[in-house]
Each structure stands twice: as structure tokens, then as C-alpha cells.
Structure 1
Amino acid sequence: MTPAVNAAKRAKVAFGLHSYEHDPKAPSYGLEAAQALNLPVERVFKTLLALVDGAPVVAMVPVAHQLDLKCLARAHGGKKAQMCPADKAQRLTGYVLGGISPLGQKKRLPLYLDSSAAEQAEIFMSAGRRGLEIAMAPRDLLALTGGKMVALVRD
């Protein structure tokens, strides 16, 4: 299993694992997961790494939305946010792009979950590899990661 799944098991939280056949040509990993698992896009969240004033942070937003970097910077108490370069994101988390999970990362980074997750009993996110999603209650994700729920997308 992946470090993400092992972290959820160790924490003894309720979760579900859902796998699908990943298509390497898929233009969006998150949208591919939603479609392959026949899920509404509001329930599937992508895990993004950004740098706020140079410090790495994790942001999770629904797959059909874009992260608002100004909202993320404000939530973290910073001035400027930018997306983390792919190679650095992979090095920091220990996961490949499209498989970055908020759970079981090499180093625990500050995590911000979009407030739309509060509307869902359970959200889906990468379980640490392409083609594998883990589902759990947003409150459990926040408890496991020490994360905060904030508005991260513009309506």
C-alpha cells in the first residue's frame, strides 16, 4: 500500500479505497478520477503544492476549480503565493504528479482545504498513486493533517 493508505490505517479513521485504470494521456488527473469512478466533480479534490512567501503549503480544491493563489496566501498569513515547481513538489511529498496525496507525505506541510468540502459527507483525493483514490470525511482529513478549512476558489 501507499504511505497515504498506511497513514489512514494507523490513524484508525474510516476511509474507502477506489481504484481505476489510469490513462497516461488523460489531460486532468482529477477529472479523470471523477469520470472513471462516476463521481460528481464537487466530491473529488486535487492536492496542489504552492509556495507562500517561499514556504511550501498544500492546497486542496475541487477538481473542476482553480486554486485562487491570493486566497491561499491570505489564509497562510503571507503576501504572495505561486505554484510549486513540479520537481520540488515531488521531492517534498515523495509522490509523483497526479498521485500527490495530502496524507503520508515525507514532511508534514501546512494544509488548506477548500470550504466547499464542508458540504460533502465524504471527499475523494489521491491515495498516493495515479489510479487510486481514498475517500474520507473532511473532518477526518483535517484531523489527520492538522489542516484548516478556508475558501480557496472564486465563485
Structure 2
Amino acid sequence: MARKNTSQGTPATAALAAAGVSFTLHPYSHDPSAASYGLEAAEALGIDPGRVFKTLMVEVDGRLAVGVVPVSGSLDLKAIAAALGSKKAAMADPAAAERRTGYVLGGISPLGQRQSSPTVVDESALAVTSILVSGGRRGLDVELDPRDLIRLTKAITAPISSNSTTSPRTKSGTA
């Protein structure tokens, strides 16, 4: 992947550029009536939903954390809690997520957040050479090597998506 110009600069693309990480911008026309930001991106870009990942903010033990899962599935709240050493997680208050990250819902990127939070990336990301995540605004995704995402966000990987394992899990946090 070649690094493309960052004229559509966001804190996420600035963080990638500052780190010297190769990435590709994928802008698309956002439809405000779309039911799912992530599935909208996958469809608009013609990319397998298993390679497009959504960023979800959760609250675990009174602190905010980030879950990054494929848009084709949903976040398993019990699994992300366990990955972070807790028993229970809940979806974060949207206003708190926006304040913490500096992004609006539908444009929250795991990269370049105003305040970093513990991050868990679904282990399925490691099965592909590149994934897409929000570029920091609605209608913009960035494609990058999942290992770069994990390194830059200091993330751990774990099976936190309803579609990352074959065992039945609680399905929550759909986008």
C-alpha cells in the first residue's frame, strides 16, 4: 500500500503519517440515513465486510476502552471484558465516546484519539494483510496493515467478535 496524500487530513491520518506507516485513503459518499456506518463503508467501497472494521467504545470497570471488530459481526461484550481482565462491559455513552476520542459517532477511529484508551483488536484482523478502519470522519476509511494498527494503538488481540469463534457468545454492540 502506498501512502497517499493527506489532504483529507484527520488526527488519524496525521498519526499514521507521523509514524511513517503506509496507508491508503478510501473516501466514499456517506449517506446520513444509513443504518450501519461500517456496512455502508464496505458496500460503498466494494470491500468484503470481513476486512472492514468498526471502532466501538465500551466501558469496563468505570473506564473507557476501544473494541475493533469486523463490521460483518458484532462486539462480544463479555469477551472484551475478559480480554481486559474484567467480567462485564457495556457500550459507552455516545457523548462520552465523542469527548474521549475527539471524533463523532460513525467517524471514530482507533487512531489519533484525543485521549488514548486500552484497545482490543479482534484476532481475525491478523488473518488478512490489510484492513480498513475509520479514517476519523464519516465517509473516510483508511486501509493499513493490521499489525501497524495494533502497534500504533498498543492494542492486544483477542476473539472479541461474535464471528471470530465458533462457540456461541452474547451478541451486542452491533453498528
Per the normalisation by structure 2, the TM-score is 0.87
Select 1:60's aligned residue among 35, 55, 68. 68
Alignment of 1:57-136 (within 5 A): 57-136=65-144
* Structure 1 residue 64: Cα displacement: 1.4
* Structure 1 residue 80: Cα displacement: 1.1
**CA RMSD of the aligned region, Å?**
0.7
* Structure 1 residue 116: Cα displacement: 0.6
Alignment of 1:34-53 (within 5 A): 34-53=42-61
Q: Which runs of 5+ in 2 are unaligned?
A: 1-8, 167-175
Structure whose residues are more often helix by fraction = 1
Deviation per residue, 1:92-116 (Å, 9 max, x gap): 1000000000000001111100011
* Structure 1 residue 54: Cα displacement: 1.3
- Distance, in Å, in 1 between the alignment partners of 2:126 and 2:112 is 22
State the match for 2:170 in structure 1: none
Deviation per residue, 1:48-107 (Å, 9 max, x gap): 000111110000000011100000000000121000011111011000000000000001
* Partner SS state of residue 113, structure 1: strand
State the match for 2:3 in structure 1: none
- Distance, in Å, in 2 between the alignment partners of 1:128 and 1:33 is 13
- Distance, in Å, in 1 between the alignment partners of 2:85 and 2:31 is 38
State the match for 2:156 in structure 1: 148
Runs of 4+ in structure 1 displaced over 6 angstroms? none
* Structure 1 residue 9: Cα displacement: 0.2
- Distance, in Å, in 2 between the alignment partners of 1:10 and 1:88 is 27
- Distance, in Å, in 2 between the alignment partners of 1:44 and 1:59 is 13
Per the normalisation by structure 1, the TM-score is 0.98
Select 1:15's aligned residue among 13, 19, 23. 23
- Distance, in Å, in 2 between the alignment partners of 1:64 and 1:139 is 20
State the match for 2:169 in structure 1: none
